[in-house]
Amino acid sequence: MANTIYRTALGALATGALLACALLFAGCTSSDSEASSEATAPSTTAIPTEAISDTPAAGTEQATPAAKPSEETVAENHHLQSDLAALATTSTMDVSVTCIDLANGATSSIAGMQQHPAASMIKLLIAAAFFDQAQLGLIALDDEYTIESGDIVGGTGSLQNRGAGTTITYGEAVTRMISESDNVAANILIDQLGMTTINSTAIKLGLTGTQLQRRMMDENAIAAGIDNYTSSDDTAKLLQQAYEGTLITPEASAYIMDALRQQTDTAGILGGLPAGTTFAHKTGTLGYAKHDGGVVEGDHPFVLVVLCSAQDTIDEASALGLMAEIGSAAYNDIVVEAA
């Protein structure tokens, strides 16, 4: 099934995808291998051809894309860039930060193109790939899937507790994959879409540092040096497009934003934001990585992504503390000073 979806998607991408492919591999570090095939065989559950509904998620609104930054905005952005760099570059961890002022488009990036082990941040790409296939009529939110014993893995998420034989919709899988970082849901979607298709979506979206190469909780792949990768610039681009309604379709963007608002992991950037701030975000955790990134909503919205990784074991407390500091600095520079 994955090969069928791949051939359909590849035809839609045409020559633009081939050109973008060069950019993808140019952005990879020397240790990164070519995107692998699926770690396990796809489920034999058929994927109906009903397309995604045109109805946006309830309670969501689409934003107007930011205008081109003015000279005054660029000057203010230099202040923010300096503040973020002062925090990120003094850490003993590998840290990347990308911040986009959604009111004017000004962007600050500290090592933003550096690749990090993606952890669960890769699930944003999987969600985008799902909706990309949905608009082709190859899968739909209300299509059903029955969980098999081979789908059950540990880590985050509640689907593992419901067991084999449980029937869910793909819409539920997408929502749980984002809101509670459900690994079973992510693997179901990986197997149904295919890794090749998901990576083709990354190329289509212009993500030069993001690759899916293994399923969630695949310890054998990790031990063999096979991992998933992303960058803070790529993650920020996905979040900006979702907020502005341009990630695949306005309906897909609204659905993803609604799932991000339901995030159950509140440690990290949110710790540095004022109480009551709405932060629609996605987190990621591995023994050697701790990430957070999302959209700070309100009168002056902005995207903020912080990726932290280490060669061996990540100091999670230090990473969470740094994220909170960066969140506070960005909020003060963007929102408070603009008031």
DSSP states of 91-129 as a string? SSSEEEEEEEETTT--EEEESTT--EE-GGGGHHHHHHH
Q: Are both 1-60+115-229 and 62-114+231-339 of the same fold?
A: yes
Using CB atoms within 10 Å of the CB of residue 68, give its burial: 0 to 12 exposed, 13 to 18 middle, 19+ buried: exposed
CATH topology (fold) of 1-60+115-229: Beta-lactamase (3.40.710)
Please, which residues bridge with residue 95 across strands? 308
- What pTM was computed for the model? 0.79
> Mind listing the pLDDT tens digit for each residue in 170-221?
999 999 999 999 999 999 999 999 999 999 999 999 999 999 999 999 999 9
On the question of pLDDT at 66 being above 60, the answer is: no
Sheet containing 107-110, strands listed edge to edge, beginning at the edge strand earlier in sequence: 107-110, 94-101, 302-309, 289-296, 279-286
Helices (H) and strands (E) in the chain, counts: 10, 9
Q: Give the DSSP per-residue string, 207-234.
A: -SS-B--S-TT-HHHHHTT---EE-HHH
Q: Give the DSSP per-residue string, 229-288.
A: EE-HHHHHHHHHHHHHT-SSSHHHHHHHHHHHHT-----SGGGGSPTT--EEEEEEEETT
On the question of pLDDT at 227 being above 60, the answer is: yes
On the question of pLDDT at 9 being above 80, the answer is: no
What is the predicted pLDDT for the residue at 91? 95
Dig out the tokens for 114 from the structure.
């550096």
> Of 31 and 163, which is predicted with more confidence?
163
* Cα(208)–Cα(230) distance, integer angstroms: 9
On the question of pLDDT at 335 being above 80, the answer is: yes
The b-or-e profile of 164-190 (16+ CB within 10 A means b, else e) is eeeebebbbbbbbbbbbbbbbbbbbbb
| CATH of region 62-114+231-339, choose from 3.40.710.10, 1.20.1440.230, 3.40.50.300, 3.30.390.50 | 3.40.710.10
Rounded to 10 deg, the angle between the 2-26 and 183-193 helix axes is 100
* Cα(102)–Cα(174) distance, integer angstroms: 25
DSSP state of 194: -
On the question of pLDDT at 6 being above 90, the answer is: no
Please, which residues bridge with residue 295 across strands? 280, 303
- Quick one: which of 125, 144, 244 has its CA closest to 195? 125
What is the predicted pLDDT for the residue at 5? 40
Domain ranges, ordered by start, for the chain: 1-60+115-229, 62-114+231-339
Neighbouring C-beta atoms of residue 32, cutoff 10 Å: 17
pLDDT mean across residues, the chain: 84
- Quick one: which of 145, 140, 130 has its CA closest to 9? 130
Confidence band for 327, pLDDT divided at 50, 70 and 90: very high
What is the predicted pLDDT for the residue at 339? 73
On the question of pLDDT at 101 being above 60, the answer is: yes
